[in-house]
Structures are given as structure tokens and as C-alpha cells.
Amino acid sequence: MKETVSEFALIQRYFAALTPPSSSVELGIGDDCALLRVPSDHSLAVSIDTQVEGVHFPIAAEAEQIGSRVACCALSDLAAMGATPLWATLALTLPNADAAWLEAFSRGLGTVLKRFNIALVGGDTTQGPLVITLQVHGAVAPTKALRRSGAKVGDIIYVTGFLGDGAAGLAFLQGQLPLDAAAAAYVSERFYAPEPQLHAGQAIADIASSAIDISDGLLADLTHITSASGVGAQINVEQLPLNPLWARSLTQEQAQHWALTGGDDYQLCFTLSPSQQAPIQAHAIGVITHEQKLVCLRDGQPVVLNQGGYEHFN
Amino acid sequence: MKETVSEFALIQRYFAALTPPSSSVELGIGDDCALLRVPSDHSLAVSIDTQVEGVHFPIAAEAEQIGSRVACCALSDLAAMGATPLWATLALTLPNADAAWLEAFSRGLGTVLKRFNIALVGGDTTQGPLVITLQVHGAVAPTKALRRSGAKVGDIIYVTGFLGDGAAGLAFLQGQLPLDAAAAAYVSERFYAPEPQLHAGQAIADIASSAIDISDGLLADLTHITSASGVGAQINVEQLPLNPLWARSLTQEQAQHWALTGGDDYQLCFTLSPSQQAPIQAHAIGVITHEQKLVCLRDGQPVVLNQGGYEHFN
């Protein structure tokens, strides 16, 4: 079935510039496939990630913000494996080939890709509802790749930075959290350009026993680690790092709830033997336990949260 | 922003079975990334391909047909590079997690992947309008990879099989081409399960000077070869291979028009030095010329087609 090929062919102009010369790219955009060279003695790490208008970002989002967010979120999966990013491919479905939208989207996407030295090597642009899929590709030494499955009883649980920022950002963007200008700017930036923790992932790749990126919320994602590792976990909620910029607008319990169950943080959660020191700035928030369940403690007492999510993991 | 995670997590059950054990897959579905091993001394070939309901297949299409079509069309790009397929990743956006639909879709997808020994190594399932993106990954020796850019003046232009099948299939499915039962079955199968010409691509990888798969129509795709190679082409329309099953329902001119401009054929078009013999069954349909334009001849006389497409390429 035919699309308006000529119109959509024009789109290539916006993306061709995102393929800088690279020794690992034998052939980029413009043939039936890209031809790529994985560094010798490395595994290829790949992750594919879709964002849908109105589901993963508000309909009011600007094109540049969408481009940035798509890149940051996808790269977070490479960070969680300790991989070095190399290439991206883009499947862009959009209602029409609006030049201004495309220019802004490719600028947002390109800024992130350029910062991490990633070449856009292929893509497909189709007409339809706004749905954006990005696949990211990286390299990692097989023995260093971070998995979800290696956590051991007694390991300390760390996160790389503030939790709850994603939930606060979404609440603010949806008009449900009044914030002052500084806090508003911070949470918006964290929602549309969550920093992929690539350097952190690479720094801990040698020593962490497990890792995951926090996209669905700390409890949900930590459960992926505990399930894959056959262990449990205990979280001390007062140790959860919260950014006071937005957290002071809520009760402490509400803020902790967002830190535990809110999605879209894109920090790494990782586990480390207690004999190891974290080689990066990170926050210890709990410990891996033998009993295969997740327990949250406040001042040493188990807590039950009121809304969504938590009960599933208890 | 949160989806109905628990509902969509169930989907994994339909796709986990599509990852058979393979020495090239160090880690499949179920972590932040898949970890893959590209055969040594080979380049990685990747292509990403999106199909949108109502754009790339009729809204009435059955789930198994959609799954099959998505896989076949994506693999066609690997065929066009002469690559050996290895892995696929799936980004599936769908309105709701309908178990029957998912079971049928994964059966259609899985049948094709299994036939070509391809592991589904990762995916993302999101809620939204039905949009399906498949990325395929293969391996090819760098010196053997087929490109669009190597066609030389005097090279013979070949296609691997019948042209116009895709256009006939679409016309039939849209109720615009009455066919008898045998013809209807044939064109429907060709539309929903177009055979990716993987063996043909690998067989010609050593000797063809250029290749492309015919997805947008012969003239459009041949123009990609001539543009990339800085040459022109001359097609003898009476040499276009047409399947009489459907072609006999049309005038010869109409059938040839579909063969020239219809999309969705997924045959390979390739060029070969006149001193070489095609190592596979293929149809010679013309010759590469010096003047950088595309000319169609009927009985030695230039022809101009009436509708769409052709004028762009003249």
C-alpha cells in the first residue's frame, strides 16, 4: 500500500545530518540496510523502545522535547547494561510531514545523539498516528555486561540519583502539582531530557552484581532484579534521595510514594557486595534479603502505601 | 507516563517462545538489552520497518496475516544486502491486549522467523493505535554486501520473480479486482506472505554489481540503483514477468503498468555484468545505460504510462 513517498522522502534531509562519519559505520542511511562493525571481542547490546503520543508524553509536548525524551529513555537501557552506545535506528510514524515539527524533533533527537557520539544509521518514516520507536545499539565486553540476575543476599542496593522526579514532572505537566519557576524548570527538564546514566553504568559494569534502569518505578524495577536473582529486598524509605525543589511541595509520605512507585526516573538501581565501595556517587537505599519479597521500612517499621503499585510487590 | 503494565506484561508469554536457543544470543528477551554475538569477520546488517493499519495493510487484515507480512517485508531488506538473518526485535503498539489477536499475530510472525532460523531477542509493547515496527539484524561479509551503488553501464538488469503481484493483491483485497479462487488465493498469499528472497540475495552477493528489493515499485526502486550508481536504465516492458493467474484479468498494458509502478512485490532487482551468468533463476528485463534517465521500451519504442509514478522517474 502506497504512502505519499515523495513527501516522506523529504524527511530524510532532517535525519541524514545525524549520521556523522564513524569508523564503526560501513554504510549508513540510504540503502536497504545499514552495515555496521561491532568492536572485536564485544557483544552487541540492543534495546527497542516506543513512545506514543498521549501515553508516554502529553499531547501538548513540543517536537524538540519529544525527540530528546525518546533518545534519553532509549539510551537508559544501554546504561543499565554498562554498554557503550554506538548507533540508533528510528521508526517514525507521524500524521503528516510538517517541516517545522520535523526540524524541531530532529534537533531534539540529534542533540542527545551527538552528545553521546551516536550515529543515526537507519530509519523508516511512515504516515499514521504519532508513534516513535527508537532502537539503540551499543557494545559491551561479555564479562562486564550488567544483568538483572546477579544480586546476592547482603548486597547493598544503590540508586544513581533523585527518585520521583519523573512522577513530579508528569504531575506538573498535567497541572496537578503547582511549582515555582525553578522547580517547574527542573522537573520539566527531567521529564523531557532524563539523563541516561551511561557513564555510571560503564563505571559499575565491572563490579555491580546486578543493575536495571528505573523506568516503571523503583519497586517495579527492583522486583525485576529480585525475581531474576531469586532474592528479596528491603528498602529504607527515609534513605530515598528526593529533590527538595519539588518534594517540599508535598508531604514526606507523598514524596516517598512517588519515589517508590513513580515511573520515568531513568536512574540506575544496582546492587553491590558490601565489601565493595561504589565507584560513583550513589545513594544506598536498602539491602538484598533472603526471603523473596520486597519490604519497605520507615524508621525500621514496615510501611504499606495507600495507592497503586505497592501491594503487588509485597 | 504509566501503561497498564500488568496487562501488557502478559504479552511476553506470546513472544518468549519465539526465542529459540542460539549460540549467537547471549541474552534474549527479559533484561534491559539483548546481548548478541555477531559472527567474526562479518558486518552487522540492520533494517527497521514499520507497518501501520490502514496504510500498509487493510484494516480487515487478520492478525496472523499481519504478523506474517511484517516479518516477510522486513526480511526482504536483509535479502537485498545478501545478508544472513540472525535476530529480530519487535515494537508492537496496539489498542488493547487481546489474547486471541496476540496469539494469532505471534503465530504469523513466529512461523516466518522460525522458517529462517531467526530469534526474537527483544521488544517493547505499548498501548496505542495499531503500529508495528520490526527491526531485523543479519550478518554479511563486508566484501560481499550488496549495495545500490555499483551498477555499471552495460550491466543486465534482473528481477527474481513475478512483478505486479503486490498491486494485484492489494486491488483484490480492496474489492477492485475480481479474481477466480486460485488467483485470489495466490495474490492474497503474495500480499500477506511475500517470500523474502534471502537465498537469492546470498547467492548473488558475490557477483551482482548492485541490488535492491522492490517495495515501492520497480521504477521507483530501480531509480534508487541508478541514482546511487550515477547511471540510467532501459526496461523492456514485454520482458517483465507477469503471473497469468491475475494478469489475464487485465489488459497487457494495465498488467505491465502494475509491474512497473506497483509496490509490495519484494522481489529483488539486481544488476550483473553481461559476462556473468545469473546463479539463480531470474528474469532479464533491461540494461544499465549511460544517460542518467529511466526509459521503458515496448517493442523497441519508448512508452509513457498514463497514471502516477512513471513521470517522476523519466
**Residue the block writes with cell 546514566:** A197
> Is B250 within 8 Å of chain A by CB?
no
| Number of Cβ pairs < 8 A linking chain A and chain B | 212
Q: Which three cell numbers stand for residue A90?
A: 528510528
10 Å Cβ neighbour count for B105?
A: 27
User: From the CA of B219, how many Å to the nearest CA of chain A?
Assistant: 13
Residue pLDDT, tens place only, B19-28: 777 889 999 8
Note whether A6 contacts B312, CB cutoff 8 Å. yes
**Is residue B228's pLDDT more than 90?**
yes
10 Å Cβ neighbour count for A235?
A: 23
> How far is Cα B188 from Cα A179, in angstroms, rounded to an integer?
57
Percent of chain B with pLDDT over 90: 81
User: From the CA of A261, how many Å to the nearest CA of chain B?
Assistant: 10
Note whether B37 contacts A43, CB cutoff 8 Å. yes
> How far is Cα A252 from Cα A245, in angstroms, rounded to an integer?
13
Select from B225, B216, B312, B308 the least CA-distant residue to B265.
Answer: B216
DSSP SS3 for B55: coil
Select from A242, A277, A238 the least CA-distant residue to A259.
Answer: A242
**Is residue B3's pLDDT more than 80?**
no
What is the rounded (10 degree) CA torsion for A46, A270, A183, A111? -30
Q: Which of residues 269-308 of B touch A (CB under 8 A)?
A: none
Q: What is the pLDDT of residue B8?
A: 55
Q: Which three cell numbers stand for residue B301?
A: 519504442
Q: Which residue of A has its CA nearest to B139?
A: A35
- Chain B environment of A57 (Cβ under 8 Å): 1
Contact B136, B85 (CB under 8 A): yes
> How far is Cα B179 from Cα B190, in angstroms, rounded to an integer?
14
User: From the CA of A264, how many Å to the nearest CA of chain B?
Assistant: 7
Q: What is the pLDDT of residue B33?
A: 94
Q: Which of residues 204-243 of B touch A (CB under 8 A)?
A: 211-213, 216, 220, 228
- Chain B environment of A119 (Cβ under 8 Å): none
Q: What is the pLDDT of residue A75?
A: 98
> How far is Cα B312 from Cα A221, in angstroms, rounded to an integer?
52
Q: What is the pLDDT of residue A5?
A: 44
Q: What is the pLDDT of residue A18?
A: 80
Contact A219, A304 (CB under 8 A): no
Amino acid type, B82: G
According to DSSP, residue A57 is labeled: B
Q: Which of residues 87-146 of B touch A (CB under 8 A)?
A: 89-91, 93, 121-124, 126-129, 131, 133, 135, 137-138, 140, 142, 145
In whole numbers, what is the pLDDT of chain B averaged over residues? 91
Chain B interface, best mutation among A19, A33, A40, A65, by max B CB count within 10 A? A33
Q: Which of residues 14-43 of B touch A (CB under 8 A)?
A: 26-27, 30-38, 40, 43
Q: What is the pLDDT of residue B15?
A: 80
**Is residue B312's pLDDT more than 70?**
no
According to DSSP, residue A59 is labeled: T
Q: What is the pLDDT of residue B309?
A: 39
Q: Which residues of chain A, if any, have pLDDT below 50? A: 1-5, 307-314
Residue A232, phi then psi, degrees to nearest 5 = -120, -175
ipTM, two decimals:
0.91
> How far is Cα B247 from Cα B66, in angstroms, rounded to an integer?
25
Residue pLDDT, tens place only, B35-75: 999 999 999 999 999 999 988 999 989 999 999 999 999 99
